[in-house]
Amino acid sequence: MKKGLKLGLIFALALVTVVTFGACGSSSSSNSDEYIIATDTTFAPFEFENSKGKRVGIDMDLLKAIAKDQGFKYTVKALGFDGAVQSLESGQSDAVIAGMSITDERKKKFDFSDPYFDSGIGMAVKNDSSITSYDQLKGKNVAVKAGTEGASFAKENQDKYGYTLSTFKSSANMYEDVKSGHSAACFEDYPVLGYAITKGQPLKIVGDLQAGNSYGFAVQKGKNQKLLKMFNKGLKNLKKSGEYDQIVNKYIKTSSN
């Protein structure tokens, strides 16, 4: 009987231990400064895995620096963009950082931080090109990637500036068309172009950027306000110290020269 009682007590204690650790791993952070942050799987240059399997990018580096500045701990879950948003909606995550555009529709469900990045559409040309404006594209060909904001912008302004269009399924083929001289320029999201240049594409970004969306750190509406305030304060401190620019410039360049 004593042996059976001891085994029963051991089992009960083990069960309590499992439940306790499970609670510690939940997304509820009302009594703790440790948070679960959901993100996309791959959205370079904001989040992606490097050659060593480490998750890096503007979002990841900013989050790390802000957490250090403000003294909170976190765990990142790479769920894909839709999965990250759904995780936040269901309360399985405390926040999302995933190159998430701040929109009026999303503000109905989420509270956003101050914008930490302003995106936009840029125009890239070969390093030795003399083109600096859209007006110089008349009679020339422009390359775009299908389904991007850059492609939409190029199509909308084709008649205005008098260029022809070539559409590609991949960014690599789009860049190659510009490098070969078949296309005089390409249109793409500014951070995507800037990251391609950091990876060795012999291009440069010219002309004015077309206004795009601002990215923000999101939490559930009315929840995790302490985390949101820490993010904003940390972001402000990073910008003041110059660390913010160092992080962004690590992943985005306007010229390969």
Residue type for position 17: T
CATH 3.90.25.10: does it fit domain 2-116+216-251? no
Is omega for the bond preceding 45 within 30 degrees of 0, making it cis? yes
Q: What's the pLDDT score for residue 212?
A: 85
Tell me the DSSP string of 220-246.
ETTS-HHHHHHHHHHHHHHHHHTHHHH
Percent of the chain at pLDDT > 90 equals: 80
pLDDT interval class at 148 (50, 70, 90): confident
Task: Note the pTM of the prediction, 2 decimals.
Answer: 0.77
pLDDT interval class at 28 (50, 70, 90): very low
Among 102, 104, 103, residue whose Cα is nearest residue 115: 102
H-helix or E-strand spanning residue 108: none
Listed range (148-152, 154-158, 182-186) with the worst mean pLDDT: 148-152
pLDDT in tens, 53-65: 999 999 999 999 9
pLDDT interval class at 31 (50, 70, 90): very low
Is pLDDT larger for residue 255 or for residue 194?
194
DSSP helix/strand/coil, 18: helix
User: Tokens 């083929």 — which residue?
Assistant: 173
pLDDT in tens, 89-141: 999 999 999 999 999 999 999 999 999 999 999 999 999 999 999 999 999 99
Q: Which CATH architecture has domain 120-212?
A: 3-Layer(aba) Sandwich (3.40)
Q: What's the pLDDT score for residue 32?
A: 56
Residue type for position 230: M
List, by residue range, all CATH 3.40.190.10 domains of the chain. Answer: 2-116+216-251, 120-212
Is omega for the bond preceding 202 within 30 degrees of 0, making it cis? no
Report the alpha-carbon distance of residue 126 to residue 14 in Å, rounded: 65
Q: Other CB atoms closer than 10 Å to residue 202's CB: what's the count?
A: 14
Residues 190 and 122 sit within 8 Å (Cβ to Cβ): yes
